[in-house]
Amino acid sequence: HLSSLFGHQLTTFTKPFHLNLENLKPQSGISSDHNYLIWPVLYQQQFYGFVVMQCPHAIELNDLRQEFIDHVIADVTFAVFTLDTSLKLKDERDFNKDIVDTIQALMVTISPCGTILSFNRRAEKVSGYSEEEIEGKYWVDVLINPEKILEFQQLFSETLKGTQASINFKAPLRTKAGAERFIRWHGSIRHNIEQGKVGLVMIGIDETDTLMADQQLNMFTARWEKIFIAIQDPALVVSNDNTILEANPATCAAAKKRRDEVIGRKVCDILHGGHGSDSQCPLEQFIGCHKTQITETELLGLHGTYMLTVSPLVEEDGESNATLLVARNLTEEEVVRAEAIRAAQLAAIGELASGVAHEINNPINGIINYAQIILDDPDDPDTLENLANILSEGKRIAGIVKNLLNFARYREDVLNPARVENIIANSLHLVAHLLKKDGIICSVNIPAPLPPLMCNEQQLQQVALNLISNSRYALNKRFPQACPEKQLEIKGELYQQENTDFIRLTFTDHGIGISPDILNRLFDPFFSTKPKGEGTGLGLSISHGLVREHGGYIRAQSKVGEWTRFTIDLPVRPPHGER
């Protein structure tokens, strides 16, 4: 009622005033037969209410009574201010605590002597301790690893002394279960009016998962960089706008440029040497497709022909912001491949040399004998027949040498029609003496006429000779002497698969067999079942490569101690571009 009567004017009075109530209406609720003295309750310009004194007669205050009442009013005013401030602080603390809980932060209040006063829910969850378990315990014993206690205790003491208003630090926390969590702490001084204490409120953010993720990211990044640098083929990471973001040393070496001359350039400028302003580089089209693609292409900027693999680097959201390019140098690979094939050829020639020598020796002895007979008696009626025999033996020698030269001579890697029965016959002709000497019975069953193969005849002859040589070795190991079971069977047949004509050749020997443990490794380079010094380990590997280059397949089957079979399937017409 006083507020409604006088409004804001009451807050301007600093001394008690007499209120005349004679003109008040009865419904005002204020008795008109009393006198009132009213004091406003003001503290630091904040109005809290009134202190009202009523008497049935006029109130007169002497100095002593006035001083007493002033003290009472001052005490009441301060008490009201204190209570109001305390309630506001409590509301603020509750609000702040709710905020801290919402943002998943640890909140710990610490007394001036360093004991823990409170522990919020997040702190309980992270540490594994309940508030009841740690209340009253020294804060560093709970929140800090033992090795760091002295360091952070000193920091706490300096803060309470007023050296600094707040502290920020990162420290490992040992949980109740013994695990280690990494917490970033912010502490500031807070006054507790109700309890008359000054202490610290600590707000902590658990950065363990972030830190572990950063460490893993750094580890994976370092590992990726090591792998990327270690790649022996040129490799590049290219952005969607075809700018080179990263290039390994092999790229710089092939391009004959420094790294700073490659990074930031357009990929076409480095790999293809640029393109016209009115045309688009095919490589840029590949990158724009955001699909994995493999293509054989000449890269002028890298000075050679390469097998180029283009792979988009897909992010977690499924989007691709960059592409990885890896280029395998086919120019160098072709040289190495040719050298390996040539080495295998020479090794086969070395193995054939003794057999061919014996094969040539017999007709030479015949020629010498016939010539001696003619010299002894030129008028002998059989002279013409002996001359015919000399001519026949000479042609036989020429055939042997021609066959050997055909195998040994380097030829271009081109395909020509050839009959598989001729390839097998020429191969057996080169090793006929060796098979005969070892007592190996060789049977050939190739129905005629099979369609001619489009192939490199010399390469397929090399494959056949390698398989025959391996069979000979296995048979001699099982049967050191001649034996009816010492057999090598070679078969051929025509079959169709997916509307494509294939010729199948099988080489089956009844030798020592091959263990299942090593059957899958037979075509690995430098792997050999022969003792050291008896094999290079390249024969089957090269044979596998030659068959694959003809669009065919080669596989091995075996039963230890009984037999081994190699099967070759060759398309009569290799698929377009299969070479």
Please report the pLDDT score of residue 553 as a whole number: 92
* pLDDT of the chain, 579 residues: tens digit per residue: 555 555 555 555 555 554 444 444 433 444 455 667 777 777 777 777 878 877 777 666 677 777 787 788 788 887 887 787 777 777 766 666 666 566 678 888 888 777 888 888 888 888 899 988 888 888 888 888 777 777 777 777 776 666 666 778 888 888 888 888 888 888 887 665 445 455 778 888 888 888 888 888 888 888 888 888 888 889 999 998 889 999 999 999 988 999 999 999 988 888 887 665 666 677 788 788 888 888 878 888 888 888 888 888 888 777 888 899 999 887 766 666 666 666 665 666 665 665 666 667 667 877 877 787 778 777 777 777 778 878 877 877 777 677 666 655 555 567 889 999 999 998 888 888 888 889 999 999 998 788 999 988 888 988 998 899 899 999 999 999 999 999 999 999 999 888 889 999 999 999 999 988 888 888 877 677 777 656 666 678 888 888 988 889 999 999 999 999 999 999 998 655 444
Query: Can you name the CATH fold of 411-579?
Result: Heat Shock Protein 90 (3.30.565)
Return the pLDDT at 29. 44
At residue 578, the pLDDT reads 45
Instruction: Report pLDDT digits (tens) over 203-252.
Output: 888 888 888 888 888 888 888 888 888 888 899 999 988 899 999 999 99
Cis peptide before 449 (omega within 30 of 0): yes
**What does the radius of gyration of the chain's CA atoms come to, in whole angstroms?**
51
**pLDDT at 30 (0 to 100):** 46
The 3-class SS string of 74-118 reads HHHHHHHHHHHHHHHHHHHHHHHHHHHHHCCCEEEEECCCCEEEE
User: What's the rounded Cα separation, in Å, for the pair 266 and 319?
Assistant: 21
Pick the CATH number of 2-88 from 3.30.450.40, 3.40.50.2300, 3.40.50.300, 3.40.50.720: 3.30.450.40
Query: What's the CATH number for 103-211?
Result: 3.30.450.20
Q: Who's near 454: CB < 8 A, 6+ residues apart?
A: 415, 416, 417, 572, 573, 574
Give the chain's length: 579
Shared fold status for 2-88 and 230-330 = yes
- Report domain extents, the chain: 2-88, 103-211, 230-330, 411-579
Question: Residue 40's closest CA among 52, 29, 55?
Answer: 52
Question: Coil, strand, or helix at residue 407?
Answer: helix
Using CA atoms, how far residue 6 sits from 19, 42, 53, 450, in Å, is 11, 16, 17, 125
State the Cα–Cα distance between residues 550 and 463, nearest whole angstrom.
12
Cα 263 to Cα 248: distance, rounded to the nearest angstrom: 10
230-330 has CATH 3.40.50.12780 classification: no
Q: What is the pLDDT of residue 491?
A: 95
* pLDDT number for residue 194: 45
